[in-house]
Homo-oligomer: A and B are copies of this chain.
């Protein structure tokens, strides 16, 4: 079968992960990457075995050989690149957020519909095998009806006032920081696992470190500066946030997120309380699904290609007990996307079980409601 020719825009941490994982997708071939820093682009291409290098995302999109664009650029150019790629007839798998505003993401959804684009968005946490298992058990009725939920997403990479990121600058990162960057993953998880939509939001966005030392040279995500010149800048965006959330069935829940929580690295946790049992999942030990019972011992279900609900076994690509990691979660999402792409190319019905631009637009709408709530000090309904 002819392979899909893929171009990846952005070679930072997550762009590199995309290329690494695309190597494991049998039907795909990364033929080009783009980075506005030519040296970084060339270095990545050599290291990762990618033949062509562009110095702009636009140029890559204009390459007629390319079938699929992976958008791993910074947030402020997501919208423009996604739009251009759709209009150029490419299929698009984008990092989140799709755009800086919900208006823009709505436009992307509309455009993708017009161009029959197969879109995807990298909400990868739902692709750990036992997250899929939890969702499958909810659909099978094991949990009963969801009554309430809670969770958190904690990191410490912005712990010191000498830590800086473009995410803290509204012009690049958008109207919120941590509640957008980490909150969108949590909201995706909640909605995916429960099969419910977030209907209403009350938000508290807080800035723990109101002045930071921004290095005059740039900074990469997850890197730490050592020495160098900096300027002190006022930080207006949140590095801590709490949400109250209501689902469309009336279930009530909460979420707390923080990027200055010493000792927490990528600590995403979800707890769901149903009428029959409870689930808890933590990204720190991502292969364990905790199942709580009122009348008997609680369970820890370890990812298992043999014991999971049948249609989720494929996400655990090794025999039971061989731990899956972050790479495998991303792989599971990509594989599902490329299987759908193969169906589309073959003219077969396309089964979109993965998160797409509708999903991404939904995330923007929840975020918009949270930002509105912070301004008004009141609950705000989510409007799509």
Q: Which of A92-100, A183-191, A274-282, A360-368 interfaces with chain B?
A: A274-282
- A167: Cβ under 8 A from any B Cβ: no
Q: Which of A55-63, A78-86, A150-158, A228-236 interfaces with chain B?
A: A150-158
Residue of B nearest to A272 (CB): B261
- A166: Cβ under 8 A from any B Cβ: no
Q: How far is the CB of A342 from chain B (nearest CB, A)?
A: 13
Residue of B nearest to A147 (CB): B208
B interface footprint on A165-180 (CB within 8 Å = 1, 0 otherwise): 0000000000000000
CB of B302 within 8 A of CB of A222, answer no
Residue of B244, B271, B294 touching A160 (CB-CB under 8 A): B294
Q: How far, in whole Å, are A47 and B202 apart by their CA atoms in the complex?
A: 48
Residues of B within 8 A of A256 (CB): 150, 253-254
- A354: Cβ under 8 A from any B Cβ: no
- A76: Cβ under 8 A from any B Cβ: no
Residues of B within 8 A of A327 (CB): 318, 324-325, 327-328
- A339: Cβ under 8 A from any B Cβ: no
B interface footprint on A291-317 (CB within 8 Å = 1, 0 otherwise): 111111111111010110000000001
Instruction: Determine chain A's interface SS by DSSP, over half rule.
Output: loop
Query: Known contacts A206-B252, A266-B322, A323-B326: does B24 contact A24 (CB below 8 Å)?
Result: yes
Q: How far is the CB of A209 from chain B (nearest CB, A)?
A: 8
CB of B240 within 8 A of CB of A304, answer no
Residue of B17, B265, B273, B299 touching A260 (CB-CB under 8 A): B273
CB of A148 within 8 A of CB of B258, answer yes
CB of B325 within 8 A of CB of A224, answer no
Q: How far, in whole Å, are A266 and B320 apart by their CA atoms in the complex?
A: 8
Q: How far is the CB of A362 from chain B (nearest CB, A)?
A: 22
Query: Known contacts A325-B327, A327-B325: does B17 contact A318 (CB below 8 Å)?
Result: yes
Residues of B within 8 A of A113 (CB): none
CB of B300 within 8 A of CB of A297, answer yes
Query: Known contacts A261-B278, A276-B262, A327-B325: does B13 contact A26 (CB below 8 Å)?
Result: no
Residues of B within 8 A of A304 (CB): 265
Q: How far, in whole Å, are A376 and B186 apart by their CA atoms in the complex?
A: 28
- A104: Cβ under 8 A from any B Cβ: no
Residue of B13, B17, B261, B283 touching A273 (CB-CB under 8 A): B261
Give 6 nearest A-B pairs by CB, closest first.
Answer: A263-B292, A265-B321, A325-B325, A266-B321, A297-B301, A297-B299
Interface residues, chain A, CB within 8 Å of chain B?
A: 13, 17, 20, 23-24, 26, 47-49, 147-148, 150, 152, 155-157, 159-160, 202, 204, 206, 208-209, 221-222, 224, 240, 242, 244, 252-254, 256, 258, 260-267, 271, 273-274, 276-278, 283-286, 289-302, 304, 306-307, 317-328, 377-379
